[in-house]
Amino acid sequence: MGRFKRPKNKDAVRLPVDKEKWGVNDNTYSSAPDYYYDEEYNCRDCGKAQVWSAEQQKHWYEELGKTINSSAVRCQICHAHIQAIKEQQQRHMKEMKNKPKHPNEGFFKNI
């Protein structure tokens, strides 16, 4: 978590960590933190300063069961952008699979 820094504002939200749920999918001997705090980070793609809220972290690690080594790297806009590209690629792959062969394929081969 070294690249994160805590917002200096005193009203920064903190949420208690549910240690029963934290890191369940990790083989880790490191102990769970007591609290999640809002964390500041810069988007990997556009470099924009972002806040990863304590609430989002709790959801990420406890509800989604993500590995404790993972964390937010992109802002929502860049994240949505990446998702859109992935979906487009998947759609393209499907289309290629379902595409009928070129009707003149036999013709070309038999010249």
Q: Output the six-digit token pair for 90.
A: 């998947």
Q: Is 40 in the site for Zn ion (CB under 5 A)?
A: no
CB 43 within 8 A of CB 50: yes
Nearer to Zn ion, 13 or 78 (CB): 78
Q: Is 46 in the site for Zn ion (CB under 5 A)?
A: yes
Rounded to whole angstroms, how far apart are CA atoms 18 and 29? Answer: 16
Q: Is 78 in the site for Zn ion (CB under 5 A)?
A: yes
How many residues interact with Zn ion (rule CB under 5 A)? 5
The residues binding Zn ion (CB under 5 A) are 43, 45-46, 75, 78
